[in-house]
Structure 1
Amino acid sequence: MQTTEQGIINPLNLPLIDTTTYSPLHEVRDEEHRDAIAADMRKRGWHGAPLVVLPDYLLSLTGVHRRSAAELAGLEEIPGVSLEDLFEACGTDLWDAINSDEEYMNASCYYDYSRVIADHLPEEVIETYGLDMH
């Protein structure tokens, strides 16, 4: 598994982007957990997988607690990778996968990316990048 000098786990060697201004998918649900992560980040900085994001929407799909912890710890940058780049690295086009999803094509509201992720990405990639969204 590839880990950068800064402690970022990125085995697919995807381009890292600063996601500091991105919105989380939901609110922090466990403040104690977030606070423990923030304490660790104050000592060691960011360690672990980058957040997985949708850059066109400035939306983080993963890492709600890590994002909030990074802000509490005063980190200047929050590393992320694009979901589209992640799909491409796995040999699949994200938008083709979504557009081939009959249920999505008939939906009139927010798309649930967890299904397309589970259907098209290898389990080890889902685990490593924190994409188990269930």
Structure 2
Amino acid sequence: MTADDRIAITDLINLHGHLTDRGDFDGLAALFTPGVVYDVSALGGGELTGLEALRAAALALGEANPVAHHVTNIVLRETADGVVHALSKGLGIMADGSAGSVTYEDTLERTPAGWRITHRVVRPRRTPLRG
């Protein structure tokens, strides 16, 4: 993985919050493959397959969607077959000011259109570390 690949993948992951927060569902094609599997099982939403399923789920949530998505702590690891695994932290700010934290576990592949996420698992963080 080159430095340019790292920058492109990091930018792609960072762009997710901008597109989602403004409701630019057509723009999600710049992030995800058409058949992306978006696993929100840990949040009670099951596995969503495809860009249209992402759009439908976001619209169904309506006012329950966060008003802001923020991503940080992106760590990339390339496998021998050229697939990249990304681990990052997500923060969601709700309309009432409350916040939540998740971990994103992404699988990315280079496509003719550039790097795209083929699979994302969203895991909420609900309890603090206990020593």
Q: What is the TM-score of this pair, normalised by structure 2?
A: 0.25
Q: What is the TM-score of this pair, normalised by structure 1?
A: 0.25
More helix by share: 1
More strand by share: 2
Query: Structure with the greater relative contact order (CA < 8 A, sep ≥ 6): 1 or 2?
Result: 1
